[in-house]
């Protein structure tokens, strides 16, 4: 279905140019879902394209608002880009949205309270409870969300969780997993984790999907339509390839991403194990939880 984004957003044209079946929504209608994306990833345009690619292939009409923090200035995005295409949180604090996506950020090794924009982010978490029908917390945001809401801590991994990992589904009967079969393959790229025992001990949380290798994947806050997702289902095909080759070029310690390249050979193409499922997952979220 069609999607409306800020006028002239380059990421939309990039998604169209790559061959994705994207229709542009000119004027929102009564059935249009208002979705906000709080994008705190460093490479703004890449993340914009990742989520446009998923949202625009759903069965729902979408009006996408790109949100930025008032207390943080991105280092890797031009002021012109942020000013032209992004809306500050202060501008929407009196608005309501059908859905909110809060992205991850490469700041896992920093204590939450030491993150410069932590107070504002906590304010957004609380604002979303009253003003958003359903919120997705992605990767670092998932860890930050369960810490702020339930006091659950993250833990440093001995090495980076990096690759495509298979996951089981604990509750296949819920609408989020409609049409999805095990295993769910998901990209992970992180240095910290949540401990399973902490999640299952919290009576306000329900563990919906996990992996023997990469740990907890999807959690839901009971009594709400809010989900905490530790992986990156939205990633494009070559995202992990770019991360791996970047770190190799810098001489950083990095292992080959697991289950990613054909025959586990970085000279070969990546194997696309996750994007079809990601489209179903996000489509189900929009269809069943954002209304």
Looking at the domain 3-235+274-289, which fold is it?
A: Rossmann fold (3.40.50)
Q: What does the pLDDT read at residue 18?
A: 86
Average pLDDT over every residue of 105-115: 95
Q: What is the pLDDT of residues 116-160, one digit of tens each?
A: 999 999 999 999 999 999 999 999 999 999 999 999 999 999 999
Q: What is the pLDDT of residues 26-51, one digit of tens each?
A: 888 889 999 999 999 999 999 999 99
Q: Which residues of 85-104 are buried (b: 16+ CB within 10 A; e: fewer)?
A: bbeebeebeeeebbbbbbbb
21 pLDDT tier (thresholds 50, 70, 90): confident
Q: What residues does each domain of the chain span?
A: 3-235+274-289
Task: Compute the distance between CA of residue 105 and CA of residue 33 in angstroms, rounded to an integer.
Answer: 26
Nearest partner of 97 among 235, 230, 289, judged by Cα: 289
| Angle at 45 (CA atoms; ends 186, 34), nearest 5 degrees | 80
Residue 220 has pLDDT above 90, yes or no: yes
Q: What does the pLDDT read at residue 76?
A: 86
Q: What does the pLDDT read at residue 140?
A: 97
Residue 114 has pLDDT above 90, yes or no: yes
Q: What is the pLDDT of residues 169-191, one digit of tens each?
A: 999 999 999 999 999 999 999 99
State percent of the chain over pLDDT 70.
Answer: 100
| Angle at 39 (CA atoms; ends 111, 196), nearest 5 degrees | 50
Helices 10-17 and 44-55: crossing angle in degrees, nearest 10, is 60
Catalytic residue set: 139, 232, 234
Q: Are strands 97-102 and 132-138 parallel, antiparallel or unpaired?
A: parallel
Widest CA span of the chain, in angstroms?
53
Peptide bond into 241 cis (omega under 30): no
Cβ(177)–Cβ(289) under 8 Å? no
Q: What does the pLDDT read at residue 234?
A: 95
Element (H, E) at 46: helix 44-55
Q: What does the pLDDT read at residue 22?
A: 83
Residue 4 has pLDDT above 90, yes or no: yes
């Amino acid at each position: 279905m069609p999607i409306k984004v800020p006028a002239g957003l380059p990421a939309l044209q990039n998604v169209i140019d790559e061959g994705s079946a994207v229709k542009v929504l000119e004027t929102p209608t009564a059935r249009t879902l208002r979705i906000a994306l709080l994008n705190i990833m460093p490479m703004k345009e890449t993340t914009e394209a990742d989520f446009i690619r998923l949202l625009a292939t759903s069965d729902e009409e979408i009006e996408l608002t790109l949100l930025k923090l008032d207390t943080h200035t991105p280092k890797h995005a031009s002021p012109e880009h942020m000013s032209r295409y992004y809306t500050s949180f202060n501008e929407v604090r009196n608005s309501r949205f059908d859905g909110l996506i809060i992205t991850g950020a490469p700041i896992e090794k920093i204590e939450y309270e030491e993150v410069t924009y932590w107070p504002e982010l906590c304010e957004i978490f609380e604002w979303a409870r009253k003003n958003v029908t359903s919120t997705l917390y992605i990767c670092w945001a998932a860890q930050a969300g369960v810490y702020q809401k339930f006091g659950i801590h993250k833990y440093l991994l001995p090495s980076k969780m990096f690759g495509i990992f298979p996951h089981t589904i604990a509750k296949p009967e819920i609408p989020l997993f409609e049409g999805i079969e095990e295993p769910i393959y998901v990209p992970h790229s992180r240095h910290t984790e949540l401990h399973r025992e902490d999640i299952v001990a919290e009576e306000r949380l329900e563990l919906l999907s996990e992996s023997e290798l990469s740990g907890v994947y999807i959690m839901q806050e009971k009594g709400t339509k809010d989900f905490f997702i530790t992986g990156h289902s939205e990633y494009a095909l070559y995202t992990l390839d770019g991360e791996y080759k970047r770190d190799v070029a810098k001489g950083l310690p990095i292992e080959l991403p697991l289950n990613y390249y054909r025959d586990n050979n970085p000279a070969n193409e990546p194997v696309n194990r996750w994007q079809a499922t990601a489209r179903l997952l996000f489509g189900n979220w929009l269809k069943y939880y954002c209304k």
